[in-house]
Every structure is written in C-alpha cells, then in structure tokens.
C-alpha cells in the first residue's frame, strides 16, 4: 500500500512541475464551455428551447460537465500506450507493482489535483452565473450526485485504461485512440445531453455504460433522474466486471508483449 | 580590414533552480531563485581575412556561445562584434549569405531524403546560381569523395559521411567566413583526419576565414597556427600555438628504460618522479634541470633507452585552465 | 514608390520560389510515409463527421442558431476545415514543431540562413496531407450547404475565397503571437493547444456572442471571424462592418504578430547539445 502512496505523492509533484498542461487544458475546456453557453443563450433568446431543459438547466449541465471533465474523465491512456509501444513498460515487468493499480493511483492523484483547481474555477463560474444555475432541492440528491461521480470516475478510468492497453495489440494506436475516446465522450453526454439525441440513438446510448460518466451524474444533480438506484447497481456491475476483465486482458497483453520482445 | 572584430562581448544566461521534494515544488509555484551564468565575459579579439584560427577550451567554457553570437543566433548581453563589417545579431540577409556555421552535433540535412535534395534546397535558400552551384558541388564532392552517397537517404549514412555532407551543404554558397563547432566530434580517427584535411585544403584554396572550436588537440595542432584559449568565459591566451607551448611549458618529460631490474623506490634527492618501477621511470622536470637530471640518471644506472619529450599540448591547456579561478556562477547579474 | 513596388515584387517572387522548393521537398518526404496518409485522412473525416453530427442533433431540436439554418451552419463547419487545410499547406505544422526546434537548439539554422525565420519555419514543414481530409470534407460540406441554400448566389464565391484567405491571415497572426512565448517557455505544445481551442470554436456563428464575449472572440481570440465572415458572404448575410472588422483584425494582427515575433527572437537561448 505504501508504494502506491509514494506514487501518489510523486505524481502530485509532477503535476505541480508540469502545471502548464493541466492549466491550459482546463482553460481550453472553459473556453469551449463558455462558447456553448453563448450558444444556448442565443437559442433561448430566439424563443426556442432544447427538450425539457430550461436555460438554467443547460448552463448547470455544462458547468457540471466542466467539473466532471477534470474530476471524473481520465486521460492516462496516452502515457500507457506510449510506455507499451516504446518499451519502457518493461520496467514494470520486473517490479512488484500491479500495472492496473499503479495507474489507478496516478489517475486518482491527478484527478484530485485537477479537482482542487476546477472546484475553484467552477465556484467562480457559478457565482458569476448564480442567477442561471439550478441547484438540487434536497441534500439527498447531492449525496447521490457525489456517489455517481465516484462511480463515473472508476468507470472512466477503466475505459481509459482499456484504451491504453490496446497498444499491446495495435501498433499505430494513437489516431484510433483519439476517435475511440471521442466516441466515448459523445456517448457519455459530454457534448450534448443524451435526451436531445434522436430516439433511436437514445436507446443505444442508454444501453451502453458510457452515460454513467457524464450524463447520469448530471441528471441526478438536475433531479431529472427519478430513481437513481437501478443506475447505481448497473454501474457497479460494470465496474466489477471491467476490473476482472482488465486484469485478464493485462495478463494476455503481457504474454504478447514478452513474445514480441521490445 | 579584419574579417572578424570582437570587443567586450558578454553573454549572461539566466536559469532557475528547483528545490527538491513536494514542498520545493510548491515553493516553485510562487517564487523561483534565478541564477546568472556568465557564459562569455567581455571577450575581445580580431581575425584577419583568410585566417584559420582554433578556439580551445573545456566544455562549458563559452566557445559555442561565442560562435552563436557571431552567427546571430544569440543576442549578446553587452559588447560589440563585427563580422565582414556586419553586426551579426541584426541578422542582415546580406551577412547570412556570406557566412556559414556547422555544428558537429546538429543536423540540418533532411533526415529521410538523400543529401542531394538538401543541397538543392540550400541552393534556393542562398540564391546560388545553378552554374556556381554545380561547380562548387562538383569540387567538394571530388575532394570529399562523396559521389556514391549523394542519392542515399541521410538516415542511412554513417556519422562521418553525414558530417561531410553537412560541410558541403554549408559551403555551397561559398561563404567568406566559416564557423565550425566541434566538426569532428564523435567521429572515428579516419573520418576525423579526412574532415581535417578537407578544412585545411578548403581554407587554402578559397581563403575562407575559419574559426574552429574543438576539444580534440589534433584538430588544432594540424589546422591552426593561431589559437584562442577560452576558459570560464574569458580569453586566457591569444597567440601562436608555438608560443603557447613556450610560455606554458617550463617542464620536459624524461622517459627511461632500465637495462636491468631496479629497486622500486627512487633514489633520494631525485625530483619530479612520476613513475618508478623495476624497468621504467618517467620524470617531469623543469627545463633547466633536464641536463642535470639526465646526467645523474646516466651515471647512476645502466640505461637501455632514454628520451626527453615536450609536454603534450593537452597538458598545457589543462594547466592554463587550472590557473583561471572558478567564478562562473553567482547570484547577481 | 516604383522602387518599393519593385522591391516587394522581388521579395514576393523569391519567397514564392522558396515555397515551391520547400513544398516539393515536403511532398517527397510525405511520400515516404504513405501509411500515415490514410490514417490522417480517416481521422479528419471522422472528426468532421462528429461536428456535423453535433449540429444535426442540435438542429433536430431547433430551427435556427443565431439566425443560421442547418445548411448555412454546414458552410461554417466546412469553412473551418478549408482554412485548416490551407493553414497546413502554408504555416501551421512549423509552429507545432517549433517547441522541438527551440528545445534542441535546431532553431539555430532558421536564424543563420537568409530567409525570414518565420517563413523558414513555416515552409520547412508545409504539408499537403496532414489536414487533407478536413480540407476535402470541408469543401464537400460547403458545396452541399451552398446547393441547399434558397438564395444561393454565385457572385459571392470569389469574395468568399478572398475572405477565406483573410481568415488564414488572422489564424497566422494568432499563431505568431502565441508562439512567440516559446522562447521563454521552451515548449510549444500547450501554446498550440490554445491555438487548437481557438480554431475549434470557430465553427459557431458569430451571432451567438454579445457583450464582452463578442469583444473577446473578435479582438482577443478572433475565432468568431474565421468562419463566419467568409460564410456570411456566401449565404448572403454579410454586412460591410463585419468585413471591415475582419480585414482590420487580420491586418492589425499580422503587423503586431510579426513585430512581437521578431522581438522575441532576441530572447532565443540556443540550447547546446
């Protein structure tokens, strides 16, 4: 356990040293979100509306998306696939470290670090737009929301890790990974709320687990999810299933890695 | 008129120090301690047209920084320089067409294309007429025996072959001034020798002014009559190579091989012993002591072979450097 | 005056010849890595499709956005694609490589050869294929959108193309300004992430902004001009003041960008080794 705590600390140091990229990516996200806020505002000003959303709902949706992007969504697959395709993964083969747990620690520490920053940003943004932010009416919704964020974080990590270790099997994985990640974000509801999609799309998106990353937590916050408990159960099922699946896939990948030899 | 004139040229770099540990990283967020490093300290010298001068000094002495300022790559902190009566860091196009810089550890050729392609591009960049281009290319290809390499992708060339091509690329526009920064670094002995002969020949033929840095003594010994020794950013010596040895070599080395086995302790009163074993001895003695010491050895022992040698020039340089005080890092500009 | 015109013509002819020379070298280089070509094009098309998907879903819920219909918006999305391909054909990739050049000290060569460093950097990496998918897909969207306009007018086309070039100038000026920081930061990845976000927000119509946002996205990060100005001409929504603003942002930005860039060059501390 102690070794993972050290990894956690070292990663924080790293994050402080390389705060530039973190800061810039948050800034960029903020930029995109503000453009979208202008977009929604323009739509509602012209007396149109999107589904069952009020303007406040939408603004809240995207502020939450900004926070979720930093605290929940995972971006570690880049380094994982680099390590695998460049061969520095070998260092892990000889160490008594579980690769999945190692990256879980890195991701967790990164997300907490980014989380601290984004909460400040989100607070400022909410304060500026206070008149346009919908807060949940009950404390219970807030508890549910936080719980769903934790589940989303776990799932997001597992998906991203899966994308990362694709490098065991695919040589030029980067472009493919880009597209896969984007598809996941789209199906998670990071770009548009899923219930604005055409009905046939919605059926597909609801059947897939990606909605637990963004859409599901925000629906809870906006109190549009009447009973989140079944959702919790399904998400937890996926988390457990993916955990065992990833451990299995990792073992297969390592066998393949050793066979190819780098 | 001098080809290169440098006066009081100074360059100070600023760097930051990061303290170790998480706490240090946090501190680094808010305040960072700047460090000032004076790479070049009010250096002055001048070079006549057609001279081939060697620039000597250990790593980090400021040789490269100086060359970079003379090429207009770096902007000096203070001081003046004129090359072909241009101020280099104004980066006048007319100046850039008349000089070249080649750095031993940098590659300006297109990695995946044959060198011939890079040459063509340099022709266009420097606006060289096709006739002149072909003429100087043929000349150099002949001198360096590159004919078979022109169509091989650069990445498949050996380091030595690549360096030759770098030189060709840099000389296609027939520069009047050539800066060479460690042109033989990392090369095998044969390639080093070929590059050296080429530089010598080229300088003789074209009367190009060449300023060359190297930490291979042989480069300098073979190529340059005049040397500038730089250490800790200051010129420690500027003059003829022969003068350098005269001034700093006050010792000679006596090497002895004994005819029969000796005790392994040197006799008392004999000075400058560096090696003394059963069969050999090496002594470093002051010039005026040489005769006396040699006599004493010849009288006292049966000697099979004895030689008196000059100190190696590298040793000389090392001694010059040992003289200059270390003061390159400090906390004020 | 005549002398000045002569001189400018000479400079233009020289740089155009240089551009051709560099382009042909880069094409030869790209031929060596043909496999990347298919991947790049595929990825470009994917992302363009995702942008279209976004707007399709949006327009499934609303009639107009900022007064723009779906087909008009396709012209916006397509125009961004075309501008990006034009940028890769002229300058963009050089800036992406700039961080490496500065970190390794290979930027030296740009400072010692007799071409303006900004042009050298740009030409050194001109690329036809890196953004070709986006360019072609963009063209397709513009044509498709244009053919579905109720008031399509062919007269707008030359002006549309002119304003595309103007957008390219704005894009270039911003690249210069932001990338000038590289000589202090010694890496350009984050700087170019900012540029990426800039061009990425260009596909939304300018009409959605008001107040501070409008000023910000016009003068600070002028993404609201990139696609909207050319597209507005093509769909017949342009007004003289919009064109005037775009032209002056391009002109002013370029002068400022070149000035800052040339000043920043003096702070380049060439890495040795």
- The partner residues of B309 in beta bridges, in order of sequence, read B253
Give the rounded percent of residues in chain C with a pLDDT score beyond 90: 77
Q: What string of DSSP letters covers chain A?
A: -HHHHHHHHHHHHHHHHTHHHHHHHHHHHHHHHHHHHHHHHHHHHTT--BTTB-HHHHHHHHHHHHHHHHHT----HHHHHHHHHHSTTHHHHTSS--HHHHHHHHHHHHHHHHHHHHHHHHHHHHHHTGGG-PPPSSHHHHHHHHHHHHHHHHHHHHHHHHHHHGGGT-SS-HHHHHHHHHHHHHHHTSSS-GGGS-HHHHHHHHHSGGGGTTHHHHHHHTT--S--HHHHHHHHHHHHHHHHHHHHHHHHHHHHHHHH--
Could you tell me if C107 and B108 are in contact, meaning their C-beta atoms sit under 8 angstroms apart? no
Q: Is the per-residue pLDDT at B246 higher than 90?
A: no
- Asked if B75 and C267 come within 8 Å (Cβ–Cβ), the reply is yes
- Asked if B21 and A13 come within 8 Å (Cβ–Cβ), the reply is yes
pLDDT tens by residue, A99-141: 999 999 989 988 988 888 888 888 888 888 888 888 888 889 9
Residue B269 is predicted with a pLDDT of: 76
Q: Which residues of C touch A186 (CB under 8 A)?
A: 50, 53
B128 domain-assigned: no
Q: Which of B13, B16, B74, B97 to mutate to test the interface with C (most CBs of C within 10 A)?
A: B74
pLDDT bucket at B222, cuts 50 / 70 / 90: confident
What burial letters (b/e) apply to B1-33, b meaning 16+ CB within 10 Å? ebbbbbeebbbeeeeeeeeeeeeebeebeeeee
**What CATH number should be reported for the domain holding residue B195?**
3.40.50.300
Q: Is the per-residue pLDDT at B316 higher than 80?
A: no
Q: Is the per-residue pLDDT at B290 higher than 70?
A: yes
C91 domain-assigned: yes
Domain count, chain C: 1
Q: Which residues of C touch A179 (CB under 8 A)?
A: 43, 46-47
Residue B328 is predicted with a pLDDT of: 37
What burial letters (b/e) apply to B92-122, b meaning 16+ CB within 10 Å? eeebbbbbbbbbbebbbbbebbbbbbbbbbb
B239 domain-assigned: yes
Q: What are phi and psi of B2, to 5 degrees?
A: -75, 145
Report DSSP state, residue B39.
E
Least-confidence region, from B24-28, B152-156, C140-144: B24-28
B219 domain-assigned: yes
Report the C-alpha gap between B251 and B306 in whole angstroms: 16
Interval B228-240 mean pLDDT: 87
Q: Which residues of C touch A181 (CB under 8 A)?
A: none
Interval B128-143 mean pLDDT: 94
Verify that B198 and B278 share a domain, yes or no.
no
C162 domain-assigned: yes
Residue pairs spanning B and C at CB distance below 8 A: 67
Report the C-alpha gap between C189 and C182 in whole angstroms: 9
Could you tell me if A107 and A163 are in contact, meaning their C-beta atoms sit under 8 angstroms apart? no
Residues in chain A predicted with pLDDT less than 70, given as ranges, are: 16-19, 260-262
B125: left (phi over 0), alpha (psi -120 to 50) or beta: alpha
Domain count, chain B: 2
Verify that B224 and B257 share a domain, yes or no.
no
Interval C82-104 mean pLDDT: 94
Report the C-alpha gap between A75 and A138 in whole angstroms: 33
Q: Which residues of B touch A12 (CB under 8 A)?
A: 22, 25
Residue B332 is predicted with a pLDDT of: 36
How many Cα atoms occupy the beta-carbon half-sphere of C224 within 13 Å? 24
Report DSSP state, residue B241.
H
- Asked if A9 and B22 come within 8 Å (Cβ–Cβ), the reply is yes
pLDDT bucket at C204, cuts 50 / 70 / 90: very high
C49 domain-assigned: yes
Report the C-alpha gap between C170 and A9 in whole angstroms: 43
Least-confidence region, from B163-172, C126-135, C179-188: C179-188
Mean model confidence pLDDT for chain B: 85
Interval B231-235 mean pLDDT: 86
pLDDT bucket at B333, cuts 50 / 70 / 90: very low
Q: Is the per-residue pLDDT at B300 higher than 90?
A: no
In angstroms, the Cα distances linking A137 to A128, A158, C90, C203 are 20, 32, 55, 37
- Asked if B28 and A9 come within 8 Å (Cβ–Cβ), the reply is no
Verify that B212 and B226 share a domain, yes or no.
yes
Verify that B217 and B254 share a domain, yes or no.
no
Q: Which residues of B touch C273 (CB under 8 A)?
A: 105
Nearest CA to CA, how far is C22 from chain B (Å)? 7
In angstroms, the Cα distances linking B116 to B39, B161, B218 are 37, 13, 31
Verify that B222 and B264 share a domain, yes or no.
no
The residue extents of the domains of chain A are 2-260
| Of the candidates B219, B218, B217, B224, the residue with the CA atom closest to the CA atom of residue B239 | B224
Q: Which of C60, C73, C174 to mutate to test the interface with A (most CBs of A within 10 A)?
A: C60
Residue B326 is predicted with a pLDDT of: 46
Only one residue has tokens 């390219």, namely: C168
Report the C-alpha gap between C150 and C233 in whole angstroms: 14
A261: left (phi over 0), alpha (psi -120 to 50) or beta: left
Nearest CA to CA, how far is B35 from chain A (Å)? 18
Q: What string of DSSP letters covers B252-291?
A: EEEEEEESS---SSPPTT---EEEE-SSEEEEEEEGGGHH
The dihedral sign for the CA sequence A74, A77, A78, A83: positive
Residue C11 is predicted with a pLDDT of: 92
Give the rounded percent of residues in chain A with a pLDDT score beyond 90: 52
CA A233 to chain CA centroid, nearest Å = 19
- Tell me the pairing of strands B226-231 and B52-56: parallel
Domain hosting residue B213, numbered range: 2-98+175-246
Closest Cβ opposite residue C39 in set A39, A172, A197: A172
pLDDT bucket at C273, cuts 50 / 70 / 90: very low
pLDDT bucket at C222, cuts 50 / 70 / 90: very high
Residue C39 is predicted with a pLDDT of: 85
Verify that B212 and B284 share a domain, yes or no.
no
pLDDT bucket at B176, cuts 50 / 70 / 90: very high
Verify that B180 and B241 share a domain, yes or no.
yes
Using CB atoms, which chains have 3+ pairs under 8 A with C? A, B
Verify that B91 and B181 share a domain, yes or no.
yes
Q: Is the per-residue pLDDT at C155 higher than 50?
A: yes
How many Cα atoms occupy the beta-carbon half-sphere of C236 within 13 Å? 11
Report the C-alpha gap between C96 and C193 in whole angstroms: 10
Q: Which of B91, B117, B215 to mutate to test the interface with C (most CBs of C within 10 A)?
A: B91
Six token digits for residue C152:
């399509």
């Amino acid at each position: 356990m102690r070794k993972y705590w050290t990894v956690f600390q070292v990663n924080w140091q790293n994050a402080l040293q390389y705060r530039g990229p973190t800061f810039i990516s948050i800034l960029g996200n903020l930029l995109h979100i503000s453009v979208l806020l202008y977009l929604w505002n323009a739509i509602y000003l012209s007396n149109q509306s999107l589904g069952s959303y009020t303007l406040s709902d939408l603004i809240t949706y995207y502020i939450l998306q900004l926070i979720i992007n930093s605290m929940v969504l995972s971006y570690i697959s880049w380094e994982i696939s680099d390590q695998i395709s460049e061969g520095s993964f070998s260092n892990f083969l000889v160490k008594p470290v579980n690769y999945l747990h190692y990256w879980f620690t890195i991701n967790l520490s990164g997300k907490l670090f980014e989380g601290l920053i984004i909460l400040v940003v989100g607070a400022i943004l909410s304060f500026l737009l206070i008149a346009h932010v919908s807060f949940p009416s009950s404390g219970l919704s807030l508890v549910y929301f936080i719980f769903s964020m934790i589940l989303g974080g776990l799932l997001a990590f597992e998906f991203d890790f899966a994308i990362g270790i694709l490098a065991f099997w695919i040589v030029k994985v980067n472009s493919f990974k880009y597209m896969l990640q984007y598809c996941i974000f789209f199906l998670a509801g990071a770009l548009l709320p899923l219930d604005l999609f055409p009905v046939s799309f919605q059926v597909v998106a609801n059947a897939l687990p990606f909605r637990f990353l963004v859409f599901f937590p925000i629906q809870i916050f906006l109190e549009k999810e009447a009973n989140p408990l079944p959702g919790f159960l399904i998400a937890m099922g996926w988390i457990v299933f993916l955990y065992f699946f990833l451990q299995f896939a990792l073992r297969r990948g390592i066998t393949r890695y050793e066979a190819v030899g780098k | 008129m001098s080809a290169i004139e440098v006066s009081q040229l100074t360059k100070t770099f600023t760097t930051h120090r990061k303290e170790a540990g998480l706490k240090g990283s946090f501190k680094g967020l808010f305040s960072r301690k700047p460090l000032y490093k004076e790479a070049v300290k009010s250096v002055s010298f001048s070079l006549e047209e057609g001279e081939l001068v060697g620039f000597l000094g250990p790593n980090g002495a400021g040789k490269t920084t100086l060359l970079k300022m003379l090429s207009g790559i770096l902007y000096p902190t203070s001081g003046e320089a004129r090359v072909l009566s241009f101020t280099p860091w104004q980066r006048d196009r007319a100046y850039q067409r008349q000089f070249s810089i080649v750095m031993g550890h940098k590659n300006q050729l297109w990695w995946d294309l044959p060198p011939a392609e890079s040459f063509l591009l340099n022709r266009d960049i420097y606006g060289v007429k096709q006739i002149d281009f072909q003429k100087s290319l043929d000349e150099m290809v002949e001198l360096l025996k590159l004919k078979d390499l022109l169509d091989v992708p650069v990445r498949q060339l050996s380091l030595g072959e690549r360096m030759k091509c770098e030189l060709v690329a840099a000389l296609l526009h027939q520069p009047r001034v050539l800066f060479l920064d460690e042109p033989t670094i990392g090369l095998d002995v044969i390639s080093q020798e070929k590059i050296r002969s080429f530089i010598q020949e080229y300088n003789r033929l074209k009367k190009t002014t060449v300023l060359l840095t190297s930490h291979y003594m042989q480069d300098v010994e073979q190529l340059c009559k005049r040397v500038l020794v730089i250490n800790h950013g200051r010129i420690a010596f500027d003059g003829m190579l022969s003068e350098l040895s005269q001034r700093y070599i006050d010792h000679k080395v006596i090497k002895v091989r004994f005819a029969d086995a000796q005790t392994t302790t040197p006799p008392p009163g004999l000075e400058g012993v560096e090696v003394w074993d059963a069969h050999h001895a090496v002594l470093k003695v002051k010039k005026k002591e040489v005769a006396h010491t040699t006599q004493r050895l010849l009288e006292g022992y049966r000697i099979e072979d004895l030689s008196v040698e000059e100190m190696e020039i590298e040793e000389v340089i090392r001694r010059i450097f040992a003289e200059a005080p270390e003061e390159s890092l400090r906390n004020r500009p | 005056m005549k002398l000045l015109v002569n001189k400018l013509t000479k400079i233009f002819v020289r740089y155009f010849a240089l551009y051709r020379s560099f382009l042909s070298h880069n094409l030869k280089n790209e031929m060596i890595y043909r496999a990347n070509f298919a991947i790049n094009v595929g990825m470009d098309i994917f992302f363009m499709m995702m942008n279209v998907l976004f707007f399709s879903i949006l327009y499934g819920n609303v009639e107009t956005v900022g007064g723009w219909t779906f087909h008009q918006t396709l012209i916006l999305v397509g125009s961004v694609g075309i501008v990006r391909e034009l940028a890769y054909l002229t300058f963009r990739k050089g800036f992406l490589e700039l961080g490496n050049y500065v970190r390794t000290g290979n930027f030296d060569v740009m400072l010692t050869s007799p071409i303006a460093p900004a042009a050298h950097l740009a030409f050194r990496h001109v690329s036809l294929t890196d953004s070709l998918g986006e360019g072609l897909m963009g063209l397709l969207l513009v044509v498709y959108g244009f053919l579905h306009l109720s008031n399509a007018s062919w007269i707008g086309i030359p002006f549309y193309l002119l304003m595309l070039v103007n957008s390219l100038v704005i894009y270039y000026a911003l690249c210069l300004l932001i990338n000038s920081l590289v000589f202090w930061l010694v890496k350009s990845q984050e700087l170019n992430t900012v540029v990426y976000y800039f061009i990425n927000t260009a596909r939304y119509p300018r009409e959605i902004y008001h107040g501070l946002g409008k000023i910000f996205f016009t003068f600070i990060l002028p993404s609201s001009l990139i696609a909207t100005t050319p597209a507005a001409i093509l769909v017949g929504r342009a007004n003289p003041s919009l064109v005037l603003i775009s032209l002056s942002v391009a002109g002013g930005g370029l002068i400022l960008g070149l000035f800052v860039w040339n000043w920043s060059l003096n702070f380049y501390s060439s890495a040795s080794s």
